[in-house]
Amino acid sequence: MTPGPLRARRCLPGEAVNSAGSALSWKRWRRSAGFAWAGVTHAYRTQPNFRIETWAAALAALLALWLRAPLAPVALACALVLALELVNTALEAVVDLVSPERHPLAKVAKDAAAAAVLLASLGALLVGLSTLGPPLWAWLRGLPGVG
């Protein structure tokens, strides 16, 4: 029998197969997007940090639009934090599955994943301050009675 990774992927009804043999179809893409959305909603329901980061990202994006500050660095930094929080959630689930008892390696895995989120969050904070800080300060100084 062909080893797992080399086995050809079966197509869904109505999907095309390109020259490399991979299945291309809107149906498959929508199915995958549905699974990804289930991951996002699960993280939002179960992870308080993910909820805080989601609303912080929305606020930062709205602030960037309102201040006419560059949106791309803010969006990229927020996306990085949210994506790493999702990876952290996935890793926690896998660790809890394979190591329900406490184990030093389980601790290493969880702590390293948490550190990745923390590092990205600090980076995002720096991006936010350097991108949104000056225009926000200029707006505040323009208010009557300030500056």
Ligand X SMILES: Nc1ncnc2c1ncn2[C@@H]1O[C@H](COP(=O)(O)OP(=O)(O)OP(=O)(O)O)[C@@H](O)[C@H]1O
In the annotated binding site, the residues are 28, 85, 92, 101-103, 110-111
- Does 114 sit near ligand X (CB under 6 A)? yes
* Catalytic residue status for 85: yes
The first and second tokens of residue 113, run together, are: 């994943």
State which residue, 15 or 92, has the beta carbon closest to ligand X. Answer: 92
Sign of the four-CA dihedral 35, 36, 41, 43:
positive
Distance CA 145, CA 147 (A): 7
Q: In terms of Cα–Cα distance, which of 92, 97, 122 is closest to 109?
A: 92
Residue 92, exposed/middle/buried by CB under 10 A (0-12, 13-18, 19+)? middle
Compute the least distance from the CB of residue 111 to ligand X, in Å. 5
Q: Which of 43, 53, 77, 85 is catalytic?
A: 85
Site residues for ligand X, 1-60, by CB under 6 A, read 47, 49
Catalytic center residues = 85
Per CB under 6 A, residues contacting ligand X are 47, 49, 92, 99, 102-103, 106-107, 110-111, 114
